[in-house]
Amino acid sequence: MSEHVSKEQAETASRISKLFDIRLIVGGLLAVYGVILVIKGFFDTDREIQKAAGLHLNLWTGIGMLVVGLAMLAWMRLRPLAPPKPDELVTEEGPRESRAS
């Protein structure tokens, strides 16, 4: 009863693993919030800057978040997740059975 993983199933697994890559979610959120804070940082009032000990905290925090978010997105792009190889799908009991059948 050994079943082999078809090429179509392997491609589907690859697409699903890339879709739910945590680096995409975290990197995207950090980048979006970073852009928002950078924009807000350009429009900080003197009172807000004084309150933050003379620093443009929104601007600097936004730049930091943007850099980390873009780094995570670049990492995801340069080192994508690879689907498991067919021989890695074999367990101690034998090959995994397909859930689709």
Q: Specify the pLDDT at position 57.
A: 95
| Helices 57-78 + 22-42 axis angle, to 10 | 150
Residue type at position 62: G
Long-range contacts of 41-45 (CB under 8 A, 24+ apart): none
95 phi and psi, to 5 degrees? -65, 150
pLDDT per position as a tens digit, 25-41: 999 999 999 999 999 99
pLDDT per position as a tens digit, 39-95: 999 999 999 999 999 999 999 999 999 999 999 999 998 987 776 666 665 556 655
Tokens of 62: 């936004």
